[in-house]
C-alpha cells in the first residue's frame, strides 16, 4: 500500500481483516445498497484495481469523479488511479487525459507524471517520457520509481553508466525496489561487474539468508570471481532445501568443471 494514498488507507482495515475477496464482496454490497456512500465506491474501485479488475475499476472511477462534493486533492488522487487503470489496459489516449486531469487538480502529482512517462514509453516517445520522469523527481526527489524508469530508458539507449547511476539511486531510496534490483543486477552481470553485484547481493543475503534466488545469484558471482568453493557451498545449501532445483544443479555442474 502506498502510505500517501488516503483512499487506500480507508479501505485497508477491512481488506486486512478478511482478505481482498471478502473486502470486495462487502464493498459490492455497500455500493449496491440504498445508502451508498462515495467512500464505499472508492474502496470498491481501489480493491478492483488491486486485484487487476481494471474494467470494473475504470467504470467506477469514471462515475466517482463526477461527484460534485469532491475536493481537488481527492479528484487528483482518483484521476491518478483512473489513469493507471487505463494504462494497464493500454488505452493510452484516455490514460493521458486522466493523468493530465490529475495534474490539473494537483500540479505536484509526481505519480501522475510517472504515469504520463509510462504512456510516453509505450508510445515510443522517449524524450517526453524522460521529461515526465525528471519532473516527478523534481517534485519528489525521493521517488524511486522515477529513477528506476529513467534507468530503464537509459539502458534501452545503451547509456550503461547512466542506467547504473539511476538504478543505484533508486536502490538507495528503496533497497528492495521490485524493478530496480533485478534490472540493476542484470546490467552488472552484462558488463561483468561481478564484484559490485556480489557486494549488492551480500547485503540481501544477510537480510534474507534463506532466499534461494539471492543465494543462487551470489553463487554465480563467486564462481565468476574464481571462488569456486564458496559458490559450491551456497549451491549445496540451496539443494539441501530443494534437491531438484534445476538452476542450482546446472551451476553446480559448472563449478565442478571449472
Can you tell me the distance from the alpha carbon of 185 to that of 208, in angstroms, rounded to the nearest whole number? 17
Q: Indicate whether 238 pLDDT > 60.
A: yes
pLDDT band at 33 (very low <50, low <70, confident <90, very high): low
217-237: pLDDT as tens digits: 999 999 999 999 999 999 999
User: Which of 29-33, 47-51, 147-151, 174-178 has the lowest average pLDDT?
Assistant: 29-33
Q: Indicate whether 4 pLDDT > 60.
A: no
pTM above 0.75, yes or no: yes
The mean of the pLDDT values for the chain is 88
Q: pLDDT exceeding 90 applies to what percent of the chain?
A: 74
68 vs 2: which has the higher pLDDT: 68
Confidence at residue 35, expressed as pLDDT on a 0 to 100 scale: 65
Question: Which residue has cell 563467486?
Answer: 222
pLDDT band at 34 (very low <50, low <70, confident <90, very high): low
Q: Mean of the pLDDT values across residues 4-31?
A: 54
The cell numbers describing 205, all together, are 543475503
pLDDT band at 17 (very low <50, low <70, confident <90, very high): very low
Can you tell me the distance from the alpha carbon of 155 to that of 157, in angstroms, rounded to the nearest whole number? 5
Can you tell me the distance from the alpha carbon of 98 to that of 116, in angstroms, rounded to the nearest whole number? 10
205 vs 113: which has the higher pLDDT: 113
Domains for the chain: give ranges and CATH numbers: 1-64 (1.25.40), 142-191 (no CATH), 195-258 (1.25.40.10)
Contact in structure between 113 and 106 (CB atoms under 8 Å): no
Can you tell me the distance from the alpha carbon of 253 to that of 93, in angstroms, rounded to the nearest whole number? 51
Q: Indicate whether 3 pLDDT > 90.
A: no
pLDDT band at 20 (very low <50, low <70, confident <90, very high): low
Question: Which residue has cell 553485484?
Answer: 197
Q: Mean of the pLDDT values across residues 179-190?
A: 92
Confidence at residue 207, expressed as pLDDT on a 0 to 100 scale: 80
Residue 237's contacts (CB-CB under 8 Å, 6 or more residues apart) are 215
Residue 174's contacts (CB-CB under 8 Å, 6 or more residues apart) are 144, 180
Residue 116's contacts (CB-CB under 8 Å, 6 or more residues apart) are 96, 99, 100, 103, 128, 132
pLDDT band at 80 (very low <50, low <70, confident <90, very high): very high
Q: Indicate whether 1 pLDDT > 50.
A: no
Q: pLDDT exceeding 70 applies to what percent of the chain?
A: 90
Confidence at residue 5, expressed as pLDDT on a 0 to 100 scale: 39
Confidence at residue 123, expressed as pLDDT on a 0 to 100 scale: 94
Q: Mean of the pLDDT values across residues 99-114?
A: 97
Amino acid at each position: 500500500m502506498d502510505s500517501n494514498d488516503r483512499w487506500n488507507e480507508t479501505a485497508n482495515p477491512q481488506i486486512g481483516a478478511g482478505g481482498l475477496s471478502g473486502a470486495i464482496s462487502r464493498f459490492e454490497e455497500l455500493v449496491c445498497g440504498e445508502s451508498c456512500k462515495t467512500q464505499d465506491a472508492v474502496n470498491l474501485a481501489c480493491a478492483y484495481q488491486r486485484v487487476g479488475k481494471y474494467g470494473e475499476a475504470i467504470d467506477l472511477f469514471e462515475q466517482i469523479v463526477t461527484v460534485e462534493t469532491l475536493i481537488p486533492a481527492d479528484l487528483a488522487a482518483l484521476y491518478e488511479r483512473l489513469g493507471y487503470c487505463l494504462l494497464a489496459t493500454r488505452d493510452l489516449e484516455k490514460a493521458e487525459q486522466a493523468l493530465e486531469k490529475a495534474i490539473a487538480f494537483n500540479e505536484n502529482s509526481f505519480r501522475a507524471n510517472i504515469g504520463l512517462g509510462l504512456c510516453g514509453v509505450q508510445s515510443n516517445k522517449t524524450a517526453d517520457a524522460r521529461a515526465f520522469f525528471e519532473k516527478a523527481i523534481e517534485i519528489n526527489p525521493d521517488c524511486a520509481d522515477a529513477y528506476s524508469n529513467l534507468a530503464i530508458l537509459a539502458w534501452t539507449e545503451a547509456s550503461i553508466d547512466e542506467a547504473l547511476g539511476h538504478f543505484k539511486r533508486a536502490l538507495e531510496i528503496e533497497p528492495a525496489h521490485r524493478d530496480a534490483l533485478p534490472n540493476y543486477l542484470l546490467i552488472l552481470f552484462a558488463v561483468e561487474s561481478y564484484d559490485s553485484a556480489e557486494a549488492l547481493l551480500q547485503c540481501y543475503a544477510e537480510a534474507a539468508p534463506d532466499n534461494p534466488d539471492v543465494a543462487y545469484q551470489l553463487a554465480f558471482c563467486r564462481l565468476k570471481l574464481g571462488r569456486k568453493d564458496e559458490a559450491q557451498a551456497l549451491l549445496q545449501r540451496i539443494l539441501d532445501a530443494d534437491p531438484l532445483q534445476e538452476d542450482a544443479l546446472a551451476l553446480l555442474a559448472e563449478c565442478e568443471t571449472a
